[in-house]
């Protein structure tokens, strides 16, 4: 039976990954942690919750021993756009947490999941059907920290046998917790604004194609990878995974099938646009398909239908 520690549990992914993991492995075996206890009630009421500054390796080690943890899901990261406002702090937060998770897993013979991102690629990476193994020279501190984390994960596996695995996630779209400080955040915010105001001011320009994925697929991918037979893995840190690639005009068209009067206008954020321009248009995720049978279930149309259905209920409360 896995005993899991989730660090950064209150974020966009963690707030849905914790209940998802508790449902699979048993609530008492999934310890949620975050920097403060002002988190969504579900994290505290459905299983163990601890306040943890994941930059404090001793505190993380003590929790791992207290709960006899054998798997750490490290979801702590300052995202791409926010990281550019304070790159020094962003690097420290992102890397201290990764290093602590790997080093503790070395000492306790545990496994580690650390998400990477399309942000780990840069302007010299082939932008279409971006290969699993390719040029990675990102131009954001977020991307640089993600490449470094990928390399650290493989180092700890090769040198110490730590079962470190990860995914290069695209932009993730969800309806529970809003993302914060990401370049792909527009693809979440657009649904909220479409339902509330029937219009959206988009901060990325038309024609900005980015890989995206609906949260249910992102959660399945994380568990499927961590449950994969290690003998089938050629890669570990980290696998390209994607579900769709679209630009703002395409998501607006999909929304109009449900809200015909929806309008999109543009007020481009130059920082986010420059970051998005440095990222791929679409990734090749054939390595994940071959090595651990990855398949996305949601596309733009089915995601949009589900997002609008769920957010309509949520925003009426």
- Whether 235 and 168 have beta carbons less than 8 Å apart is answered as no
CB of 28 to ligand VAH, least distance (A): 31
| Binding residues for ligand VAH, total number by CB under 6 A | 13
- 171 touching ligand VAH, by CB under 6 A: yes
Q: Which residue is nearest to ligand VAH (CB)?
A: 182
The footprint of ligand VAH on residues 138-167 (CB under 6 A) is 142
- 278 touching ligand VAH, by CB under 6 A: no
State the pairing for strand pair 167-169/239-240: parallel
- Whether 172 and 118 have beta carbons less than 8 Å apart is answered as no
Among 90, 117, 208, 240, binds ligand VAH (CB under 6 A): 117
Q: What is the DSSP letter of 297?
A: -
CB of 116 to ligand VAH, least distance (A): 8
CB of 212 to ligand VAH, least distance (A): 8
Round to whole Å and give the CA distance between 288 and 239: 6
Q: Catalytic residue among 142, 157, 191, 214, which?
A: 142
x/- binding map, residues 25-64, to ligand VAH, per CB under 6 A? ----------------------------------------
Tell me the DSSP string of 180-215: -S-TTTHHHHHHHHHHHHSEEEESS-TT--EEEEEH
The footprint of ligand VAH on residues 67-86 (CB under 6 A) is 79-80
Q: What is the CA radius of gyration of the chain?
A: 19
160 labelled catalytic: no
Tell me the DSSP string of 56-103: -HHHHHHHHHHTT--EEEE-----HHHHTTSHHHHHHHHHHHHHHHHH
Query: Which residues would be at the binding site for ligand VAH (CB under 6 A)?
Result: 79-80, 117-119, 142, 169-171, 179, 182-184
């Amino acid at each position: 039976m896995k005993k899991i520690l989730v660090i950064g549990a209150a974020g966009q992914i963690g707030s849905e990954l914790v209940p998802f993991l508790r449902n699979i492995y048993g609530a008492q075996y999934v310890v949620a942690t975050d920097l403060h206890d002002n988190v969504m009630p579900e994290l505290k009421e459905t299983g163990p919750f601890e306040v943890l500054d994941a930059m404090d390796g001793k505190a993380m080690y003590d929790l791992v021993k207290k709960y006899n943890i054998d798997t750490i899901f490290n979801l702590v990261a300052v995202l791409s756009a926010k990281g550019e406002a304070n790159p020094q702090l962003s690097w420290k937060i992102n890397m201290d947490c990764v290093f602590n998770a790997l080093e503790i897993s070395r000492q306790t013979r545990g496994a580690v999941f650390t998400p990477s991102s399309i942000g780990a690629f840069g302007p010299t990476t082939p932008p279409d059907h971006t290969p699993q193994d390719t040029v990675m020279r990102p131009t954001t501190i977020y991307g640089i920290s993600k490449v470094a984390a990928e390399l650290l994960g493989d180092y700890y596996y090769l040198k110490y046998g730590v079962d470190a695995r990860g995914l290069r996630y695209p932009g993730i779209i969800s309806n529970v917790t809003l993302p914060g400080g990401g370049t792909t955040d527009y693809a979440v915010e657009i649904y909220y604004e479409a339902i509330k105001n029937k219009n959206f001011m988009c901060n990325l320009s038309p024609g900005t194609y980015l890989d995206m994925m609906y949260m249910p697929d992102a959660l399945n991918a994380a568990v499927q990878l961590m449950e994969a037979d290690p003998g089938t893995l050629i890669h570990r840190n980290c696998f390209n995974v994607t579900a769709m690639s679209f630009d703002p005009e395409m998501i607006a068209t999909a929304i109009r099938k449900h809200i015909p009067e929806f309008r999109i206008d543009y007020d481009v954020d130059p920082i986010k646009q420059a970051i998005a321009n440095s990222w791929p248009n679409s990734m090749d995720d054939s390595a994940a398909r071959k090595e651990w049978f990855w398949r996305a279930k949601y596309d733009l149309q089915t995601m949009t239908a589900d997002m609008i259905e769920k957010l309509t209920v949520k925003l009426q409360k």
